[in-house]
Structure 1
Amino acid sequence: MGAWSRWFRAWPLVLRSRFLEAWQDPLGFWASILARVVNNSLWLLVFYLFFLRFPEVRGFRFEDLVLTWAMAFGALGLLQALWGGVLGLARLAETGELEVHLPLPVPLLPYLLSLRLQPTGLGDLLWSLSVLALLGVNWFYALCALVGASLVALGFFLALASMSLWGLRVQNLLPVAYAGLVQFATWPPSVYKPAIKALLLSLIPALWLGPLPARAVVEGSGLATLWGFGLGFLTLGSLAFWLGLRRYIAPGG
């Protein structure tokens, strides 16, 4: 309990230090944020022109697309802002740098998860919050859905990164998995065949990042289910990490 108490007191300082570390290059920091905002906005413009020609795709309209994108990018942005270290966890294990952090007197997993802050994630999060403000959604539902979806993403990436503790080299797979989640999370479940839909609800939980949180915001229901699956994915990811850590052998022995 003492270690956890120290951790909760230290976590805001850890986040502040990660922010200051990213702020060492202010121009690059703001350029990364601006690049994400511009990139997301330009893609929305492309799909706006598409939906002018085809107003509805299997019941999916442009307004639905905007909310789905806001939830997906907001959840992933929140992940990178608070727990971005999960995307670098495989590199620590595969290079042996993980051993440096093992003796520290704080809970290991939350410490490792907070080792990294991505300015691009802040860009996605700011873009998402701006879009949600323009849409005029219920902020309570929207923020709860964003946190729940980010828990799903955290559990998924934690489970995937923990495979490196079992001797698998997954460091180069993480960017591909991230891009895949973004791609699949920005379209509604109706465009996928049943088998693909089942896959995107379980092994690759993309639908839990965009379409289902967006539906929860619109309908004002489903938040408990979203949070339940988020905590379930996080539990599975944490279990994979701790079991892998027990058998972990750093490169070179």
Structure 2
Amino acid sequence: MSARVLLVDDDESLRVVLQKAFETEGFRVSHLMNGAAIEERLRTAGADVLVLSSDLPGLSGLDVCRTVRLDPVLSRLPIVLLVPSGEGQLRLTGLAAGADDCLVKPFSPIEVVVRVKNLLRRMNPALLDHMLKVGDLTLDREAHRVHRQKREVKLGPKEFKLLEFLMRSPGKVYSRSELKASLWGDDATVDERAIDVHIGRLRKGISLGKADKVIRTVRGAGYSLGDF
């Protein structure tokens, strides 16, 4: 199952940008506009991490942090608090209230995603086991989705499996026989030259219509995914 993010902020434009950034990295995102229904949503729908603004209308993000930390069911939920520009002191207040991390606006959406990933690696690393990332390429094994430069890449099943194999060891050169084994096992009826066909399709898919050398041909040796 992909990691679930509950995103709470009354700024719709920020929610949209953050949701896109999280979904590009394979997260599933739900959102709320205020803090009043957070605890109920967490209990009914669940979440693996809570990302919320400190200055929510009604129940503030700080109050939500304190409430969650006192709840025996939710107390271990990772929380990232978003603090308004010019309110840097609130960062310390947020940490004291129970947030695991705080970011002061403005920030880049990808920074929020990175902070969340770092939290999950420490607190629940199994949630990220299905994700592979090399440079601007992201592959989600469970959702069977690939993104590059925040754009989804459509691949056939063989090309997906081939990319997954290459992404496990970026920079390593694999022979055609090794790549063939990754796709068909010991099937002797498959010609190794079939790998060239699938590499060509994979290149076309992940290049986004541009000429690049993400997948490198090494003469006499095989193929390698660039290690960026």
Structure with more of its chain in strand, by fraction? 2
Structure having the higher helix fraction is: 1
TM-score between both structures, scaled by the size of structure 2: 0.25
TM-score in terms of structure 1 length: 0.23
Name which one, 1 or 2, has greater alpha-carbon Rg: 2
Higher relative contact order, chain-length normalized (CA < 8 Å, sep 6+): 1
